[in-house]
Copies of this chain bind each other. A is one copy, B any other.
């Protein structure tokens, strides 16, 4: 089959296959992506992050449920820290989302954070592009909020939701880590538990202090397990998108492109260098480093020195 053509038709199997190609970063991936690229750039990309246990997956599930009433076509990218250990628990979350897996207009894809040759930004950006080409108009990028790589990935979205839950001290951590600056909308989930109001007050007070010359992001309270507050959250998302200037929106879109381009460049260069160093040469370098006859920095200087910019 013509993979790109099938992706453009929205064929779910083709989409899955295309993303697998991207993840494996194979030889013909770039040719495929060049063809897909012109069809991208039109969907809304929402980054969703929060601590494990904040009910992120349930919230995403409910958002999908709500948006589907609208006939929105949705792609979900779940960025998982790849661990032999945490595998189980995360998988559990995913399975809850399966109720949408029979819905042909909802695509769900897990992306591992493991050593992407071309970088996680590239792989995620490419998966987003494939979803867009397949006709999705909203793409949710969900991360479990463990690992800075994932925080970086969330920053590639057009709009960032940060999910907090009452009584976990998350509020303090958030401010320490500069997450305040990246959140476009705060969600206080499990808002039916005690301490939700107190948390909201604290959060608002801190935001007012911290955001002197900037607009204070909305704070939405939800109970994801009951579907409460989801409509309000979707309204805030649509409000955010519609009230921002085209320039602002373009800036966000360009941020993603810029990260992708850097990843692709790094990837290509390393490929080129690998082609120009014989493996036996490399082994000899390592041997000399091992013998402490030289050091990795001097060897790197030498290897990189072989390349020069064409004038």
Partner of A266, one of B50, B112, B266, B289: B266
Partner of A86, one of B51, B257, B258, B303: B51
* Pair A173/B295 contact, Cβ less than 8 Å: no
Partner of A176, one of B87, B253, B301, B305: B87
Q: A17 an interface residue at 8 Å Cβ cutoff? A: no
For this complex, 6 residue pairs linking A to B, each with C-beta atoms less than 8 Å apart, are: A41-B290, A115-B148, A254-B287, A261-B299, A269-B273, A307-B310
**Chain B nearest Cβ from A89, distance in angstroms:** 10
**Chain B nearest Cβ from A122, distance in angstroms:** 9
Chain A contact residues (Cβ within 8 angstroms of B): what range?
Answer: 35 or more
**Chain B nearest Cβ from A207, distance in angstroms:** 16
User: Interface segment, A30-38, A194-202, A208-216?
Assistant: A30-38
Partner of A296, one of B83, B112, B170, B264: B264
Given contacts A173-B88, A297-B30, contact A253 B146 (CB under 8 A): no
**Chain B nearest Cβ from A145, distance in angstroms:** 5
A297 to B263, CA, bound (A): 10
Where chain A touches its partner, the secondary structure class is helix
* Residue ID in chain B nearest A308 by CB atoms: B310
- In the complex, which residues of chain B have a beta carbon less than 8 angstroms from the beta carbon of A241? none
A30 to B298, CA, bound (A): 9
Q: A219 an interface residue at 8 Å Cβ cutoff? A: no
* Pair A148/B295 contact, Cβ less than 8 Å: no
Q: A8 an interface residue at 8 Å Cβ cutoff? A: no
- In the complex, which residues of chain B have a beta carbon less than 8 angstroms from the beta carbon of A147? 81-83, 113, 146-147, 149
Most B Cβ at <10 Å: residue of A40, A262, A265, A282: A265
* Pair A307/B82 contact, Cβ less than 8 Å: no
In order of increasing CB-CB distance, the 4 nearest A-B pairs are A84-B177, A114-B148, A51-B85, A37-B295
**Chain B nearest Cβ from A12, distance in angstroms:** 24
A195 to B133, CA, bound (A): 51
- In the complex, which residues of chain B have a beta carbon less than 8 angstroms from the beta carbon of A170? 85
Given contacts A149-B149, A174-B84, contact A33 B297 (CB under 8 A): yes
